[in-house]
Structure 1
């Protein structure tokens, strides 16, 4: 692994925000930043068609201007740029194959708060096992301590019934790097009861809550030991995972979710929780692939 960060740039406001987010992350990691423009990307209105001489010139100018701006803002940042041919999802996944992460922009839901995960994002996430971070346009306008994004906490969603080592590795390493608080969230729901007026006994609910809290603490303990400097706030609560993650991460600097690596060519490759969080989170979202 070359410990670089790859970011996709297509000229949109969202991808510009992703570039600046990725630059701050590269500085935190002391890693080079690679800007990638995919020649077949659907470009903003008014942009020359890709594959034409005018389109190639536009892409070269886009990358050159982005590199110049980043070097002006961050004199310590090593930044490179290139344009690649082929389908964007495949090109971006290939470019990020040995990178620390791939960063993409994602546009908001109009007057609502959240993401629209476009066709490129939907194809890139299952096409790579590298962490993929989705960034909204407004992220670029937020103040960041010393030019970095270390002033807000991280939220990670955990399912103790599934393997989540990769998820916790990423979340704890990122919290340690940013020196911020890590909020570990476990949610569960009670199975429905049959019969009119049926309800769970209050003592059973309390026992369930205690059991989930113990399970969460047990799962986190190895990482608490490995990262003693990370302040961890663990919470187990009843509710729907995506809703709780979106609410808890409303003011976070990053929300971390997992997705299972599927070998089948059919079916969804982004789980329902990750999919919902990607569409509705205000914060940048990191999708971490795990077995």
Structure 2
């Protein structure tokens, strides 16, 4: 068996906290997910990242892995079957909740331990599907109906989506995977977020354009701003500049711990379509003879 450095796979230190491991996993899962990545080895990397997270997210599994790693093994080193013993941990592979992992993982967490107990029959294979949500649906959460194929038949379920679910988050539905000799595997939903015509998302912060007329920017105004939390009234001070960002605290993505919303000012001059409008622009130009824009 070839040793795998799961910390190296996730790009974290051995002292990394559970939150740091989870954050690294989510970032890499989004990067290498076969549905979105264009890299030729994305599927294999995605599997490796999932395997590393499965090994390190559980405190007991992580302790067993760390005990082996402390023996000095490095990536690619040969590990004899006996190298897995002595940890005092005995994991039933039917409890692992994931499938398709390497021989190294199976030997470490699912093989015989100490007294030579044989592995229990496996559950059925886990299924995975991508669930694309609008930004509003992910923000608010709620029930979603999904359809998927299992054993050649189509199944439909109603799934509860937590409010503020981020892209790349996995939702595991126990017992909804393929049926095996020791029960059914799980269905793993990987959340995707559809592009939005109005908002851009940066973590839990949202941003949108705020179009102002020249006189609103120059003199100040009170204008409506659309956010995921509804339409709000925002006061614009005199002398607003294009590109300036105005923050609405707590009005970004999420319900329990929302981010902020940033309204980025863009100034739009209406076209002069009548003689009176053209004269108004000429009169305005005369009032600012020293204006230099270039």
TM-score range with shorter-chain normalisation? under 0.3
Structure scoring higher RCO (CA < 8 A, sep ≥ 6) equals 1
What TM-score results when the alignment is normalised by the length of structure 1? Answer: 0.22
Which protein has the bigger strand share? 2
What TM-score results when the alignment is normalised by the length of structure 2? Answer: 0.22
Which protein has the bigger helix share? 1
Rg larger for: 2
